[in-house]
Every structure is written in C-alpha cells, then in structure tokens.
C-alpha cells in the first residue's frame, strides 16, 4: 500500500521512489537531440511518457506495477527533459512523438501500449493518430487535445511544490543544468499553442483508450475529458477520486488500478 502524498510534501523533499536497476538504458541520437531511455522487465511492451517539466523518474510509483503485470516497461525522457537534450527549435508534440518512435526502433519494439501523463499523454495520443500501427492502446491522463480543454492557470501550494522538485531534478539530470528558466519558457510556449486536434482527428483512433481525469485536476476541464471519451471510438472515461493532476504521486493505488486495466486490455496480459 502506497502512503498518500496529497500535498506533494514528500515528493518535493525526496522525489518519487527511485527506479530499480534497469535491464537496459541508453541514448538515441535523433533529429538534433540525444533522447534518453531505459527498459525494465520482459513481456508485452508498455511505453511510459512523463509530464511536462518532469522526467522518467516521476514514474517510480507505477513502474513496479507495470513490471508486476508481466510487461516490459520502456521509459523515455522527452526531448529537453531529464537526461535528454534538445536543440534550439521550439518544442512541438509531433517532434517529441517522433523521438519516441526512434526509441522504439532502437529497442526493437514494433508496437506498444502507452501510459501518458499530461504532455506525455498528448504525445501518446498523437502517435495513436499518426502512427496507429505502432500503438496498441493509450492510457491518457490529465491532458487536453485542443486549447479549449485547459483551465485558466492558478498557482497552488501543490503546484509550487511540484515545480520546485522539477527545478531541482533538472539541475541534477540535465546536460544544461543552468537552463531551467529557458526550458520552462519553451515548454510553456508549446503548451499555449498546442495541441490542436479536431474531432475528426480523434474519431480516427482505433485502439483501446482510457481517458483518465482527476476529480481535482488543476489544469484540465472535466467537460474536455468527457468530450474526448465521447469522440474517440470506444474510449472509456475514468474519473479518479480525491486526487489532482499529480495523482500518480498523490495516491498511486488509485491511479495504478485504472492504468493496469488499460494496459491489460491493450496487451492482452491476463
């Protein structure tokens, strides 16, 4: 049983639980960046994509559950995040999605289920639309697919604690440890203008999808999550009680049950 961290006090102080020793890790040189990845376990592949400003270590509460379900977990630090580098071009979700495909090629994975959190969820859904042959299912948590899905930003102590942790981790992991402010500005510019998926785009998705939305999400509107679930054929809507945008850290057991349900459907793991 995971202890709750609803206020992210433990996350701010310590970060997420550490990742175990990896089966393999490395970098992929792709389109002006070095993209870091690590893999764990064996079985049907599950690609785990973290949120904006974070890194793969934020999945410390989820990785054991994915491995325990008999899957091979592949964690990727998005371009410019964590141990991955970036060039001077603006961030785009499509560019980061292409990085993920490059990692999949490097580790000989043709098709995978995806677990995405916030920006990572957006990357996963773009792959489901643009490279459906590579995607067996998407657990889409805490993200929008067009600008109408976001709430007006209001800072909270929980957000501030998460941001403080991200800042500290960036300094410890990044190849450009003094560049956090520029990095935040660049990610924020992307988030203000992307994604821009239409209902027609979403209706083309043909893989199992769970739209997971927290009861107290600080960034994403519930009616947007409901719209996504209606618009993507066969998608499920899961409302996570008692948590916010940081559910994987706050109450992992709530998040993991829904995550594993989608992973099992997408990978046919019993």
- 209-257 per-position pLDDT tens digit: 999 999 999 999 999 999 999 999 999 999 999 999 999 999 999 999 9
10 Å CB burial of residue 26 (0-12, 13-18, 19+) is: middle
Question: In this structure, what token pair is assigned to residue 48?
Answer: 């785990």
> What would the mean pLDDT of 4-24 be, rounded to a whole number?
95
Q: Which helix (H) or strand (E) holds 213?
A: strand 209-214
Do 63 and 19 touch, CB atoms closer than 8 A? yes
> What would the mean pLDDT of 68-72 be, rounded to a whole number?
97
> Does the pLDDT of residue 59 top 50, yes or no?
yes
> Does the pLDDT of residue 270 top 50, yes or no?
no
Task: Report d(CA 236, CA 233) in Å as an integer.
Answer: 9
> Does the pLDDT of residue 120 top 50, yes or no?
yes
> What would the mean pLDDT of 175-194 be, rounded to a whole number?
97
Whole-angstrom CA distances from 261 to 48, 66, 75, 236, 254 are: 15, 11, 19, 11, 12
Note the pTM of the prediction, 2 decimals. 0.98
Task: Report d(CA 194, CA 144) in Å as an integer.
Answer: 9
Task: Report d(CA 24, CA 263) in Å as an integer.
Answer: 22
**Average pLDDT of the chain?**
97
CA torsion 22→117→169→37, rounded to 10°? 30
252 Cα distance to chain centroid = 15
Question: In this structure, what token pair is assigned to residue 104?
Answer: 């999949």
Rg of the chain over all Cα atoms, to the nearest angstrom: 17
Whole-angstrom CA distances from 239 to 117, 178, 249 are: 14, 38, 16
Task: Report d(CA 78, CA 149) in Å as an integer.
Answer: 22
3-class secondary-structure state, position 20? coil
Q: Provide, rounded to the nearest whole percent, the portion of the chain with pLDDT above 90.
A: 96
Q: What is the pLDDT of residue 269?
A: 60
Q: What is the pLDDT of residue 168?
A: 98
3-class secondary-structure state, position 260? helix
Spell out the residues 6+ positions from residue 28 whose beta carbon is closer than 8 angstroms to its own.
Answer: 34, 35, 37, 99, 102, 103, 106
Q: What is the pLDDT of residue 1?
A: 61
> Does the pLDDT of residue 83 top 60, yes or no?
yes
Task: Report d(CA 133, CA 142) in Å as an integer.
Answer: 24
25 Cα distance to chain centroid = 19
> Does the pLDDT of residue 21 top 80, yes or no?
yes
Task: Report d(CA 214, CA 46) in Å as an integer.
Answer: 22
Question: In this structure, what token pair is assigned to residue 85?
Answer: 């580098």
């Amino acid at each position: 049983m995971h202890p709750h961290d609803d206020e992210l006090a433990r996350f701010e102080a310590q970060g997420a639980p550490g990742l175990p020793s990896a089966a393999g890790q490395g970098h992929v040189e792709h389109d002006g960046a070095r993209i870091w990845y690590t893999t764990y376990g064996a079985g049907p592949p599950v690609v785990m994509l973290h949120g904006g400003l974070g890194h793969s270590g934020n999945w410390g509460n989820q990785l054991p559950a994915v491995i325990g379900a008999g899957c091979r977990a592949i964690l990727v630090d998005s371009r410019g995040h964590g141990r991955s580098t970036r060039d001077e071009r603006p961030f785009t979700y499509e560019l980061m999605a292409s990085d993920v495909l490059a990692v999949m090629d490097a580790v000989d994975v043709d098709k995978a289920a995806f677990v995405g959190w916030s920006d990572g969820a957006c990357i996963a859904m773009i792959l489901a639309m643009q490279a459906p042959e590579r995607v067996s299912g998407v657990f889409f948590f805490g993200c929008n697919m067009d600008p109408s899905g976001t709430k007006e930003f209001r800072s909270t102590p929980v957000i501030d604690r998460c941001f403080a942790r991200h800042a500290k981790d960036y300094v410890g992991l990044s190849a450009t440890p003094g560049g956090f402010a520029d990095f935040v500005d660049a990610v924020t510019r992307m988030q203000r203008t992307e994604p821009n998926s239409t209902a027609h785009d979403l209706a083309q998705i043909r893989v199992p999808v769970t739209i997971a939305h927290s009861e107290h999400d600080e960034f994403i509107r519930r009616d947007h999550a409901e719209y996504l679930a209606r618009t993507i054929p066969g998608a499920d809507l899961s409302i996570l009680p008692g948590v916010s945008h940081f559910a994987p850290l706050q109450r992992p057991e709530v998040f993991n049950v829904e995550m594993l349900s989608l992973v099992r459907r997408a990978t046919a793991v019993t």
